[in-house]
Amino acid sequence: MIRFRSTWLLLLAVAVTLFLLNWQCWKPGVGGAVGGRAPGTHLERYFGWPATYEAELWRSDDEALASHILNSAPFYYPSGEMALEHRVVGMRALGVNVAVAVLVILGVAVVMECALRGAWRRRQAAVLAGIGVLIAVLWAASASVSVSL
């Protein structure tokens, strides 16, 4: 049981950070007309960490839009200026991200509570080791469940 208020505050901060990592597109790809595509600007957006659970392809006829996107990336939202051409959502990748988030939050809670109590026991060390192994396994599996265009 979590006894300390500072643990709850830290867990809230960790949860918000993990949500922002998954909600924001940190890997946008911007390009022009290649491969026989019509002239314009293409934008690829990938969401999720450590697994990519959503991939989007946006298109605009405006060729000058690419420089505007690059100036504001990764905080560019194309819905007003571009049209969505394709979207792929992977539920397994989303599940991996949720599982990693839960494990990270659990690990932070164990570390904080033990540090604030000043008491480390074998059980807590075993729990942390198990969490670390599970996170490593999920991290390794994240590439195989990630979606792409």
pLDDT attached to residue 73? 79
pLDDT attached to residue 57? 92
User: Within 13 Å of residue 121, how many CA atoms lie on the same side as its CB?
Assistant: 5
Cα 16 from Cα 29, distance rounded (Å):
25
pLDDT attached to residue 144? 96
Prediction pTM value: 0.84
Q: What angle do CA 107, 109, 110 make, to 5 degrees?
A: 65
Place of tokens 């939050």: 105
58, with CB counted inside 10 A (0-12, 13-18, 19+), is: buried
Among left, alpha and beta (phi > 0; psi -120 to 50; other), residue 26 is: alpha
Domain ranges of the chain: 5-20+93-145, 25-90
CA dihedral 13, 46, 26, 50 (to 10 degrees): 50
pLDDT attached to residue 100? 97
pLDDT per residue rounded down to tens, the chain (149 residues) = 677 888 899 999 999 999 998 998 887 888 876 666 677 888 999 999 999 999 999 998 888 888 888 888 788 888 788 999 999 999 999 999 999 999 999 999 999 988 888 888 899 999 999 999 999 999 999 999 999 98
